[in-house]
Amino acid sequence: MMIVNEEKCIGCGLCVKDCFPKDIELIDKKAKINNVTCFKCGHCIAVCPTDAVTTDEFDMSEVIEYDKEKFQVDPNNLLNFIKFRRSIRQFKDKEVEEEKLSKIIEAGRFTETAANMQDVSYIVVREGLQELRRLTLETLNDIGNKILSNITPENIIYVKYAKLWVKMYEKYKENPDKEDELFFNAPAVIVVTANFQINGVLASSNMELMTNALDLGALFSGFFVRAAEGNKKIRELLGIKEGKEVATCMIIGYPDIKYKRTVPRKSPKISWK
C-alpha cells in the first residue's frame, strides 16, 4: 500500500492534485491515501517535496532524487540518436555481457504500462537459440506452404513472405550450421511478452534505445512474432505463461558493421486541427 509519513507531510496538496484516480485527500492539513482506487503509479512518491510518501509493495531503494545533470537529455542529441539507429543484421561472434542485457531489460521495466499493470515479462534466449531457430523456421515453412497452396485476395500480400519463409527453411535443412537468416548468428534474443501487448511494445521501444546506447545493435523480428502466434511448442520451449502474448522479439548483439550517417524518410503526414 501507499504510505504517508505525517511527520514529513506539509499538506501542500501536490499529491492530491496529481492523483489521477483521486485516491488522496487532505485531512487536517495532512495527505491521506485511501488505497482504494490507487493503482500504485507512484506519482505521489515522485511529486512530494518532502519525500513523505513510500510504499511497502516495491523496493524504495530504487528511488532516485532528480538531478538535472544526470537526468536531462539534450533534445537535438536525442533526435539524432533516434535518426541514426539502424536495424542490425550483421553481428560479431561475441557474447553480450549479462550486465548489458540486464540494463536493456531495466529500460523496459521502467517504461509506462496501461493502468500501471507492469505486466511485461522478458525471456532471454542464449543457450536455446538453435532449438528456437529450428521451431521458428519449421513453423514459418508450414505457414508459407499453406499460403502458397491457397492464394486468396486476402492473403496475396503475404505471398512474397511465404516464398521467403519456404526458401529459408530449405536452406536451413540443407545446412543448419550455415548462415542464419532468422537470428543472423546473434548471441542473444530477448522475447518480450505481456498480458496487454501494447505494454510490451512500448517497453521494447525504450529497450532498443538502451541497446544502442550500450554500443549494441538490435533487430525486431516480425517473422518470429508471426511464428509464435498460438504456437504451443514455442510457448512451451520459452515457458510463456498463460495469458501472456508475444509482443516483440529483439535480436541483440555487437554490430559487425559501421554506419556513417542517417538516412532520409518520407515526410510526416500531419493534420493540424
CATH superfamily of 73-273: NADH Oxidase (3.40.109.10)
**pLDDT value at 57 more than 90:** yes
Q: What is the CATH number of domain 2-62?
A: 3.30.70.20
User: Residue ranges of the domains in the chain?
Assistant: 2-62, 73-273
Residue 250: φ, ψ to 5°: -100, 115
Q: How does residue 178 score in pLDDT terms, banded at 50, 70 and 90?
A: confident
**pLDDT value at 179 more than 90:** no
Give me the percent of the chain exceeding a pLDDT of 90: 99
Closest CA to 88 of 217, 201, 195, 203: 217
What is the tens place of the pLDDT at every residue in 181-227?
Answer: 999 999 999 999 999 999 999 999 999 999 999 999 999 999 999 99
pTM, to two decimals: 0.95
Q: Which set of grid coordinates corresponds to residue 58?
A: 516495491
What angle separates helix 197-213 from helix 75-84, to the nearest 10 degrees? 100
What is the predicted pLDDT for the residue at 33? 98
What CA dihedral angle connects 75, 222, 191 and 143, to 10 degrees? 170
Instruction: Report whether 130 contacts 202 (CB < 8 A).
Output: no
Name the DSSP class of 115.
Answer: G
Determine whether 204 is exposed, middle or buried from the number of CB atoms within 10 Å of its CB (0-12, 13-18, 19+): buried
**pLDDT value at 234 more than 90:** yes
CA distance 145 to 169: 11
